[in-house]
Amino acid sequence: MIDGGKEIFCMTRFIFVRHGQSVGNLTGRFLGQYDGALTDLGRRQAERAAEFLRDERIDEAFASDLSRAYETGKIIAEPHGIIPVPDKALREISAGKWENEEFSKIEEIYGADFGVWQNDIMNARPTGGESVRELAERVTKEVWRLAALCDGKTVLVATHATPIRMLLREWVNMGALPDGPKWVSNASSTTAVYDAGRHTVEVIKVSENSYLSGVETDLPPNV
């Protein structure tokens, strides 16, 4: 918004949704940017999220262009008459040699790198892939861009587990969140209000999934 030649930002409300169960989640694989689809259960989870968010104001929608996230965003946005904008900056981490590989095999073959992922994720890099710090910079920069672009609006963002974990880390570092879950669950929603002018965040809720009762799924414990 421009007032007297000066740009003034309102607050932008984000609803971040992790994609529903994917074929990779079902088979215990690290998909990374491999384009694995939603399972039938994943679509049901997205439909539950859509019903939960039906009465929420949603003005704009953006989604990772990987099909598991994009389809989740499309299902949720449809009741609001919105089609999500595909956004490569919201993709999951580029996982190099780990992409579409079973977690058990990653641990066996790339044990040292996977150990860093498990125990010191901010210094982790999937073998031959993007570092977690690079992903964090990519995603947080894009969300702040969207906050300025969509000021005063409520924005749906459909993305992946690691991008949301990096957003949670930023909020903790900013003092907006005392702590956060290690990973959010499939099709859960996380809500935060961004003030692009003051560069502040207010966290409303993290990994809300009460609407998934009976159909919850999550990452395996060895991630």
Phi and psi at 210, nearest 5°, equal -60, -30
Q: Is 16 helix (H, G, I), strand (E, B) or coil?
A: strand
**Residue type, position 57, single letter:** R
CA distance 79 to 98: 36
Count of CA atoms in the C-beta half-sphere (13 A) of 20? 25
Token look-up 């088979």 returns 27
15 forms beta bridges with 156, 191
Q: Tokens 């749906």 sit at which residue?
A: 156
Query: Are 95 and 131 a contacting pair, CB within 8 Å?
Result: no
Catalytic residues: 19, 92
